Chains A and B, each alone.
Chain A
């Protein structure tokens, strides 16, 4: 790895921490004396999240009775981790996002026991350049557990997937893991908006990279891939739990920002016959979850930057995360872990940096919010 230098933010936070540590060492009288001079810093302390991670108990590892009552075999539970949306530029241009990606890799490597595999949720690169993907591959190569790659629009629209596919293979594939059928989709196809506008590859990429320009098309899985999905599932019994990975959410959240998959309903229809379906997606850079019929949706954190909640369309089951602190590079970001239970449902843990982790239990979603409600935010968006 490259020499890790400290960002301005890190130095700033360290300075602030030093002040606070100093304050804690003072007796009350001296404390009151310096208080006036450092009111801002003291107030900062009360707003500061705890810096250390708290260990989370592994949820529900034993096969449960409802599962066997429902005729399911009670498959062995397993755990996988994720890193997503690293948005790397070339190393010489931008160190900020490199630092964050490396931090996520360190986090996942510190998990004990190690996860069965690590899902990379897409948007490894920022502008789809080979150099960016190379850098990403080098960083992910440090992971101890095997990595499953998913593609995002930032990886794709410079050369329409040439470099990515050369490095990582086909963007949609499936495999079976401990009794669960896992499908990885390429959900960010777009109808051609660039040819008529005579865009260069770099302009096409830039346009897709922006959320609020209104020029690009909406994401879609597309006819071909939906056919592929149906064929892939044809041999999978409806009692087999499904885990589906897609970069964009496979439902319609907010069209203007492409928090959206245009043929979401058609994909959902293909997944409908299955008893337990969990869709895990990247792209939205926020704590986000949803339940539509038999399908639980769960959005991953980014390591690069947090996104505000969209002005409309937020799924009612989502409990917002606290607004991010603009003074802390890592706030609102992180990585996470997913514990697949014996019955094939999945509990998900948002490992937020500089904050306590938040667990979203499968029970919360499948009960449509009746039980196991995750904690409410102190500072929701407005």
Chain B
């Protein structure tokens, strides 16, 4: 057998076993899909439009030309205005503002016919039981939403699991995969990052160590930060340490 055909045979054998194990699609070298971007409305008065993190609420600062920055007082006023507008649209949500030292305005008590309950009915979310706080700041999600998110997350972790056991999928050429030295991702210590790695001569992130181990001992090519495979490996490694307290800088 040639060296190439052996690499293929072993890769194929491994893939077959793990396909049976995790039913995860094989990850190719591809960047992660782009994240959604804020669709900021055009300015009406030639000023600058500032948008809230919800991606909906926005205000225009009239006198602010592109490239100019606001005074602190202006900036505080803009954030207040944004939050006030958001509060008008979400009358039953509570948002703690740590700001000028003045007590925040008491919010009206939610009535039985509040907007949130109406929204809950429309989306099929469980109506709130008595004595429970409103569950989510932005919307009411259904059990199905949570299940879909969980499945997606678990699948991503499973893809990472598969890569962790398949050196060839990381471009490795010598038959070595991560699990050989890190069964169940033991001794990868994701909770200790960032930390100074003497040999890298810098403060490293988890992905820097993953890349290091991909180059050696796996003898593949380091993955770009946006590579789906690197992201999946990170997901798997972190998932194995669920519940371990974060402890950055630990050696």
Nearest A residue (CB) for B202:
A40
Question: Quick check: is B29 within 8 A (CB to CB) of the other chain?
Answer: no
A327: B residues at CB distance < 8 A: 199, 212
| Chain A positions 157 through 200: 1 when the CB is less than 8 Å from some CB of chain B, otherwise 0 | 00000000000000000000000000000000000000001011
A207: B residues at CB distance < 8 A: 17
| Chain B positions 161 through 180: 1 when the CB is less than 8 Å from some CB of chain A, otherwise 0 | 00001000000011110011
**Distance A381 CA – B9 CA, assembled complex (angstroms):** 35
Find out whether the CB atom of B14 lies under 8 angstroms from the CB atom of A206: yes
The listed residue (B10, B184, B201) touching A256 by CB distance below 8 A is B184
User: Chain A: interface secondary structure?
Assistant: loop
B147: A residues at CB distance < 8 A: none
User: Chain B: interface secondary structure?
Assistant: helix
Binds B, one of A209-217, A275-283, A338-346: A209-217
Count of residues in A whose CB is under 8 Å from the partner chain: 47
B10: A residues at CB distance < 8 A: 127, 202, 206
A197: B residues at CB distance < 8 A: 20
**Distance A326 CA – B181 CA, assembled complex (angstroms):** 10
Find out whether the CB atom of A326 lies under 8 angstroms from the CB atom of B212: yes
B251: A residues at CB distance < 8 A: 379
A56 to chain B, nearest CB (A): 28
Nearest A residue (CB) for B185:
A212
Find out whether the CB atom of A93 lies under 8 angstroms from the CB atom of B3: yes
The listed residue (B187, B198, B216) touching A44 by CB distance below 8 A is B198
Question: Quick check: is A54 within 8 A (CB to CB) of the other chain?
Answer: no
Question: Quick check: is A109 within 8 A (CB to CB) of the other chain?
Answer: no
A310: B residues at CB distance < 8 A: 186
A203: B residues at CB distance < 8 A: 13, 16-17
B215: A residues at CB distance < 8 A: 8
B27 to chain A, nearest CB (A): 19
Sample 8 A-B pairs with CB under 8 A, ordered by A number: A199-B17, A203-B17, A211-B183, A212-B184, A256-B183, A305-B180, A307-B183, A326-B209
8 A-B pairs closest in CB distance = A40-B201, A211-B183, A308-B187, A212-B183, A94-B174, A327-B199, A308-B186, A202-B13
Known: A94-B174, A127-B175, A206-B13. 6 other contacts (CB 8 A): A206-B10, A215-B21, A308-B186, A326-B209, A329-B217, A379-B251
